[in-house]
C-alpha cells in the first residue's frame, strides 16, 4: 500500500487527537482525585438538622466545614461529633478558662461581662446550667442561636464539649442556593 502525503498527514492528526484526549482524561482523573482528597481530608459537607441554629441556619441547609485543626474563637459555628448520636451544629460561645453565667432572667455573662449577641433568636434560658461555670482547659461551651429551642451545653446531656469532639468550623453554606455564601454574613453586618 502506497502512502500519500495526505494519508500521512491524516494519520499524524489522528495521533495528535488521541494524545489530546489522553491528556484531557489524565487531567480530569487527577482533578477528581484531588477533589476527593480535599473533601475527605480537609473539607466536609454536613446538613443542618433541626431549628436550633435559627435565624442563622435552617433545617436542611447544607454546609461546608473545614476539618483542619485551628484555634476556635467565640462566634465560630462548629460541628460536634457525638459518636453514636447525630452530630450537632452549634456556635462556640465560651472558650477554655473563661467563666460563664446565665442568670435566671436569661442574661449571658462571660467573665462578668454582659454579652450582646445580635444573631440569637428567643430568650436564653438556664436549662440545667443554674450556676456560673469555669470552662476547663481543652473544652468549649456551645449554644444554639435559637436559645429557646436548642440542645446545647446548657443541658447535662451535652455539657461542655471536649476540643477533640469538634469536627471542624463551618466555612460557608452551599444549599439552598438562594442562601449560598458565608454563614457569618449576618454577624458581620450586625456587629461591623
Q: Is 52 a catalytic residue?
A: yes
Long-range contacts of 177-183 (CB under 8 A, 24+ apart): 179/61, 183/56, 183/57, 183/63, 183/77
Of the candidates 40, 52, 153, 179, the residue annotated as catalytic is 52
What are the backbone dihedrals phi and psi of residue 152, each rounded to the nearest 5 degrees, phi first?
Answer: -150, -160
Q: Which one-letter DSSP state was computed for residue 171?
A: E
The owner of cell 429557646 is 148
The owner of cell 462578668 is 112
48 alpha-carbon distance from chain centroid:
10
Of the candidates 40, 90, 150, 178, the residue annotated as catalytic is 90
* Cross-strand partners of 169: 66, 78
Residues with catalytic function: 52, 90
Amino acid at each position: 500500500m502506497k502512502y500519500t502525503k495526505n494519508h500521512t498527514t491524516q494519520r499524524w492528526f489522528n495521533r495528535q487527537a488521541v494524545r489530546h484526549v489522553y491528556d484531557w482524561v489524565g487531567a480530569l482523573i487527577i482533578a477528581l482525585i484531588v477533589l476527593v482528597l480535599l473533601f475527605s481530608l480537609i473539607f466536609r459537607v454536613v446538613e443542618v438538622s433541626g431549628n436550633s441554629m435559627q435565624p442563622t441556619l435552617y433545617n436542611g441547609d447544607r454546609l461546608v466545614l473545614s476539618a483542619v485543626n485551628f484555634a476556635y474563637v467565640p462566634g465560630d459555628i462548629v460541628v460536634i461529633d457525638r459518636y453514636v448520636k447525630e452530630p450537632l451544629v452549634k456556635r462556640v460561645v465560651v472558650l477554655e478558662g473563661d467563666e460563664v453565667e446565665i442568670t435566671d432572667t436569661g442574661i449571658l455573662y462571660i467573665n462578668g461581662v454582659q454579652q450582646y449577641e445580635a444573631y440569637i433568636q428567643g430568650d436564653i434560658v438556664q436549662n440545667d446550667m443554674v450556676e456560673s461555670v469555669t470552662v476547663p482547659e481543652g473544652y468549649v461551651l456551645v449554644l444554639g442561636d435559637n436559645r429557646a429551642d436548642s440542645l446545647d451545653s446548657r443541658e447535662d446531656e451535652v455539657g461542655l464539649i471536649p476540643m477533640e469532639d469538634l469536627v471542624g468550623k463551618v466555612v460557608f453554606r452551599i444549599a439552598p442556593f438562594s442562601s449560598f455564601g458565608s454563614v457569618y454574613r449576618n454577624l458581620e453586618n450586625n456587629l461591623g
